[in-house]
Amino acid sequence: MIIRTNSIQTTLDKLYNLLSTERKVYYARFGDGDTNIMSGTGRCIEHTASPELQRELITAFSIDDSHYIRGVMVKEPIFDGYGLKTRNNSPDEMVAINFISSVFGNKDEVVFDSHVLLTYIAVCEQEIMIDFLNKFIRPKKKLFIGSVPKDEIEKLVGKIDYYVEVPRERVSEEKVAAGIPVGAYYSIAEWWPKVLECVDDVELVIPTAGMAGRVTCGRLWHLNKNIHCIELGSMVDAVVGKLSRSIWGRNNNIMKIQNLLRDV
């Protein structure tokens, strides 16, 4: 089986086309932590593993539709904070390849889209990022799901009509040893009903809850919600100066994100 990932430009062109013409478009971004948990080989910095999370992630990952854009960290360069860097045959890459082969082994070819797209253009192609925000994010009636304060994140995404707050906590060795589940997924029973209360009244959903964001994409897709659902990734943390990824501590990137902000 051939595994291929579309380039940043191809993925961007696809998003512009679909978001301009279609009511139901989802962009879910699966990283190394996701493939670790889906494959049962590890965990991630935001979520401890569980059979329930594994099952829901695989369900979201397995959606195969031209309007469901899967950004997957496989067969593409990574953004290290300075530029794009090849990581062929890294251990994380091989975990992803083996897992994908196990899920889609009956296909001759599987094509994914760029995982790094929005993070890269947010730092390195800011005019493009601002245009994307102005066309597809800021004007939309929207639901934001996450932990960044509403008044702060509105500087990036524009007016938020519905805000569903989720707790966020990093995994620690002590909590893993104690068997304590950590991550937004494990409070989903509390905040998911709030999502359902308002999702039919919006055009756009922005999940920023780590792996629970991918679960959100999968659940809403299977509920046939005709919306745009776009994961922006860790740039939302950079808005408030949170170094949730190492790239924001490099090359003055956390300050560069401030160039994207505007008063609401």
Tens digit of each residue's pLDDT (9 = 90 or more) over 170-219: 666 677 667 778 889 999 999 999 999 999 999 999 999 999 999 999 99
Tens digit of each residue's pLDDT (9 = 90 or more) over 109-134: 999 999 999 999 999 999 999 999 99
Stated length of the chain:
264
pLDDT at 45: 74
Asked if the model's pLDDT at residue 167 lies above 90, the reply is: no
Confidence of residue 151 (pLDDT cuts 50, 70, 90): very high
Q: Enumerate residues 6+ apart whose C-beta is below 8 A from 46.
A: 33, 168, 170, 171, 182, 183, 184, 210, 211
Tens digit of each residue's pLDDT (9 = 90 or more) over 58-79: 999 999 999 999 999 999 999 9
* Mean pLDDT on 39-53: 85
Percent with pLDDT over 90 in the chain: 81
pLDDT at 41: 86
pLDDT at 171: 66
pLDDT at 236: 95
Q: Around Cβ 163, how many Cβ atoms within 10 Å?
A: 18
Spatial separation of the C-alpha atoms in residues 44 and 229, rounded to whole Å: 23
C-alpha 134 chain-centroid distance: 19
Nearest to 205 by CA among 16, 14, 26, 18: 26
* Mean pLDDT on 4-31: 97
